[in-house]
């Protein structure tokens, strides 16, 4: 009998049919699992997976930076809104207007919590193509709102006379 390889060759090549039955790669990574904080999956490797989207265990520093910018813009929006309202301006967002009417100047706590929960949701779904684009779009829109508020503060609010 002639063999093409030695027994050591057979031992070094894994048999694809002898996978562990608990191999988690057989099913997609869930949104939250035992691996969420300690897992190693940081990105979707396959082009097909990236086009469909999915969940990962760990998120990149670029996403962290983008989410921190979004939360910072939210804080600036609240500060500038309070200042503009104190100078006689009005809130044009009907949801925030109702929140301000109900909570007064403490509205910023609820505003921050609502945006933080939304940012957490977007973070968990950040590997889906539409969510990635939405995160960038939201950040740009929020940046535009902040620039508009700065314009209002600098050029539209009358200076206080001493």
| pLDDT one-digit tens code per residue, 24-66 | 455 555 555 545 555 444 444 555 554 555 555 566 778 889 9
- The verdict on residue 2 lying in a domain is no
Which distant-in-sequence residues (6+ apart) come within 8 Å of 43 by Cβ?
56, 60, 127
Which distant-in-sequence residues (6+ apart) come within 8 Å of 1 by Cβ?
none
Could you tell me which of 62, 78, 57, 52 has the C-alpha nearest to residue 142? 78
Opening angle at CA 154, ends 148 and 158, nearest 5: 120
Which distant-in-sequence residues (6+ apart) come within 8 Å of 88 by Cβ?
157
- The verdict on residue 26 lying in a domain is no
Taking residues 102-114, report their average pLDDT: 90
The whole-angstrom separation of Cα 11 and Cα 28 is 30
Range of the domain at 132: 61-154
Q: Provide the sign of the torsion angle of the four alpha carbons 130, 136, 138, 140, taken in this order.
A: negative
- DSSP, res 125: T
CB 44 within 8 A of CB 50: yes
**pLDDT for residue 58:** 61
Q: Is 42 helix (H, G, I), strand (E, B) or coil?
A: coil
- The verdict on residue 95 lying in a domain is yes
Q: How many domains does the chain have?
A: 1
Who has greater pLDDT, 7 or 119?
A: 119
- The verdict on residue 18 lying in a domain is no
**pLDDT for residue 63:** 82
- The verdict on residue 118 lying in a domain is yes
- The verdict on residue 141 lying in a domain is yes
- The verdict on residue 15 lying in a domain is no
- DSSP, res 49: H
- The verdict on residue 78 lying in a domain is yes
């Amino acid at each position: 009998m002639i063999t093409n390889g030695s027994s050591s060759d057979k031992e070094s090549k894994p048999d694809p049919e002898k996978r562990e039955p608990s191999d988690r790669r057989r099913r997609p990574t869930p949104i939250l699992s035992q691996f969420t904080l300690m897992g190693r999956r940081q990105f979707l490797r396959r082009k097909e997976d990236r086009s469909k989207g999915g969940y990962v265990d760990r998120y990149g520093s670029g996403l962290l930076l983008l989410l921190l910018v979004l939360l910072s813009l939210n804080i600036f929006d609240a500060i500038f809104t309070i200042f503009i309202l104190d100078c006689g301006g009005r809130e044009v967002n009907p949801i925030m207007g109702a929140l301000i009417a109900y909570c007064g100047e403490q509205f910023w706590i609820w505003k921050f919590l609502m945006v933080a929960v939304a940012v957490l949701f977007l973070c968990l779904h950040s590997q889906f193509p539409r969510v990635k684009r939405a995160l960038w779009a939201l950040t740009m829109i929020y940046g535009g709102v902040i620039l508009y508020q700065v314009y209002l503060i600098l050029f539209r609010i009358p200076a206080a006379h001493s």
